[in-house]
Amino acid sequence: MKITLGINTGFATNRFPEPEDWVGVVADELGLDTVQFTADLLNPFLPQAIIAREAEKIRSLCDKKRVRVQTAFTSAFTRVNHLLHPDPDIQRVWLDWFQKFMSPPRTTTRSDFPSENALDRNPRPRPPQARVSEGRDPLCFTHIFRILFSEGFLPV
């Protein structure tokens, strides 16, 4: 069995936010070649121009140091309601966030999203169990998986 030792880039969030620093720590100081990238280092809420610039910088540095980004992790964003938020407008914001997080840097359009009706089956705040059983939230997750597969991510 082959095992790859890597590191989650959460260690770099506050101390080493610049790609030059964290890629250097991973490759030169730790001697690793594999990372799990965290959204804290390049948040999808940033403007697209910044995301594109920083993503290119990360790609270039990782290529130079032979570090590969094998997986990604949402980090601190795992502790909020995301797609199960009772407010459909907030739910749409998180759907957009996830789409940008899973896609290569490029402009995303609202036409990439499910129809308004798919997200608004029940406009009243409801407990998460009710929203899931009513079918609104699984549509969001279906959309997320569609994005993943279209970007070439495959189930493990």
SS (H, E, C) 20-81: HHHHHHHHHHCCCCEEEEEHHHCCCCCCHHHHHHHHHHHHHHHHHHCCEEEEEECHHHHHCC
Positive or negative, the CA dihedral 38, 43, 44, 49 is negative
Q: Where are the domains of the chain?
A: 1-79, 80-156
- Which tokens belong to 110? 């609202």
Residue 129 has a pLDDT of 53
User: CA-to-CA distance for 63 and 68, rounded, in angstroms?
Assistant: 8
Mean pLDDT for each consecutive 10-residue tract of the chain (156 residues)? 92 93 96 93 90 92 95 75 82 85 52 31 47 51 68 60
Residue 111 has a pLDDT of 31
Residue 7 has a pLDDT of 95
Q: Indicate the SS3 state at residue 19.
A: helix
User: CA-to-CA distance for 11 and 8, rounded, in angstroms?
Assistant: 7
